[in-house]
Structure 1
Amino acid sequence: MIALGCDHGGFELKQEIIAYLKARKIEYKDFGCYDNKSVDYPVYAKLVGKAIQSGECEKGILICGTGIGISIAANKMKGIRAAVCTDCFCAEATRLHNDSNVLALGGRVVGPGLAIKIVDTFLNTEFSGEERHQRRINQIED
């Protein structure tokens, strides 16, 4: 299951991502926000992070205006590896090399067409499992 969260700056893009997930019958849980009234992104980063930490969800997608603030908040949580991606190359690399479990997007940075391609790449790329990458992830976790 995919955990979704956004602030007001990411609300519109989250609706596009929900449509993509529904069309592909990918299970998700929407942790908010639920409209474009101003809210604080750390609240939603924490909700999504907790869902991943607990095992309720396998991966997450977080969206704010740039993707930066919400990813910083998420990365404060143990076991969360959130990556801001603005293209498919970054989405693939962060899964292959970092085993990132949260994709962060900027609702004011990437358009819906590109965002869906980034989400697709992120969700369909497996961690390479290479020892050098696992060693580095372990160092981050420590």
Structure 2
Amino acid sequence: MSTTYQIKKIHTLKNVLGLDDDTYRQMLLSFDVCSSKDLTQAEAEIFIDILQNDAKYIQKNNYKKYDEFAGRDEKMATPSQLRKLEVVWACISKAEDKSTTLRQFIKKQFHVDDLRFLTKARASQIIAVLEKIKLQMCLKAI
């Protein structure tokens, strides 16, 4: 039986690769299972290695985080805006898990559940707020 960590890693890699459910299920069938939970630990490691090799190929082809959102509605935040949000937050946040704290901040202050649901206008507002916080932190340091 695969571990919880292995299952999470498999699903994360599946999402990074953008595998549709049918392709993912076909890959699992090559191990004679229908679910990643049914893989043995050894099979799960092999499956993770396969997915990681595919992910490395994507990274070598200049894949950037949030690029999968490039073709969505024009009103929605662009991939570069989403990346900028994360970069600015990383500069001002002292938490270890920066992505979780960013989501919590956006949910609390702007009532948006996830970065993926931000509009361009709202993303611009949040970037401006975060830049202002960053500037204030720099001025305090002086």
The answer to whether TM tops 0.5 is no
- Which one has the largest radius of gyration? 2
Q: Higher helix proportion, which one?
A: 2
Higher relative contact order (CA 8 A, sep 6+): 1
TM-score range, shorter chain: under 0.3
